[in-house]
Amino acid sequence: MPWFLAILTITNAAVVWFVWHLLRARRLRSADWDTLVSALRPIPGRGLELVARDFLEPNSGHYWEKSGQTRIEPCEIFELLGQAEGLRHMRQNAEIMVRLAAYVQVWDFTESVIVAHRIRHDAMLLKRALFRLRLAGFFGARAFDVPFYTQQAASQYYLMRQRLLALYETSQFVLYPRLQTALEAA
C-alpha cells in the first residue's frame, strides 16, 4: 500500500508540473512584444560573457593571462552568473527569447525562421544542461560536472542572446535598441 501512495504522489506532482508549464507557455504565446521584453529577468551580463567565452573560446586569452583552456576557477563560475537565481532567470529568459525570435517572422520570414530554430535549439541545450546540473546536485556530482554544466548553460544562453540581438539588428532595427537595453539589463 505505501508504494501505491508514492506512485500516486509522483504522478500527481508530474501532472501539476505539466499543467503549470502548459499554462505558462500559453501565456507567453499570447503576450505582445512589450510584455515579453518587460518579462526578461536580470542576469549579470559581464559575468555571463566571461563564463561563456571561457567555455566557447579555448586559449583565447592574452599571454599575460592564465594559460590553458579554463581561465575561470570552478568556484567563481557560479558567483559570476548570479548563483541559483541567475540560473533560474536564464531558464525563464530562454523561453521568452524563443518567443521574441519567433515574433520577428512577421517582418522577415526568411532569416527569422532559421535563427528562431537555432535559438530554440540553444534553449533546448540550455535546459538540458540545467536539468543535468539539478540532477548532479541531487544525486551528488563529480568535481567537474557542476562547473561544466554551468558553463554549458551560460554559453548556450550567451549564444541565444547574441543571435537574437543580431536578428533584431538586421530585421527590426526600430525595436533593436529597446531589446538591447532589456537584454543588457537582463
| Mean predicted confidence (pLDDT) in 91-101 | 91
% of the chain exceeding 90 in pLDDT = 21
Q: What is the pLDDT of residues 58-67, one digit of tens each?
A: 765 554 455 5
Q: What integer pLDDT is reported at residue 172 of this predicted model?
A: 78
Mean pLDDT value of segment 37-41: 88
pTM for this model (two decimals): 0.77
The identity of residue 52, as a single letter, is A
Name the percent of the chain lying above pLDDT 70: 79
Residue 129 region, left (φ>0) first, then alpha (ψ -120 to 50), else beta? alpha
CA atoms within 13 A on the CB side of 155: 16
Q: Which 8-state DSSP code applies to residue 141?
A: -
- Burial classification of residue 154, based on how many CB atoms lie within 10 Å of its CB (0-12 exposed, 13-18 middle, 19 or more buried): buried
The DSSP annotation for 50-112 comes to: HHHHHHHSTT-S-TTSPPSS--S-HHHHHHHTTHHHHHHHHHHHHHHHHHHHHHGGGT-HHHH
The pLDDT assigned to 61 comes to: 53
Residue 155: the pLDDT is 93
Q: Give the number of other CB atoms < 10 A from CB of residue 76.
A: 15
Q: Taking 90 as the threshold, does the pLDDT of residue 56 lie above it?
A: no
Of 165, 162, 30, 153, nearest in space to 92 by CA: 153
Mean pLDDT, the chain, whole residue set: 80
Terminal C-alpha separation, the chain: 49
CA distance 54 to 160: 16
- The string of pLDDT tens digits covering residues 124-174 is 999 999 998 888 766 666 656 778 888 999 999 999 999 999 999 888 778
Top mean pLDDT of 12-21, 99-108, 117-126 is at 117-126
pLDDT for residue 67: 55
Query: What is residue 64's predicted lDDT score, i.e. its pLDDT?
Result: 43
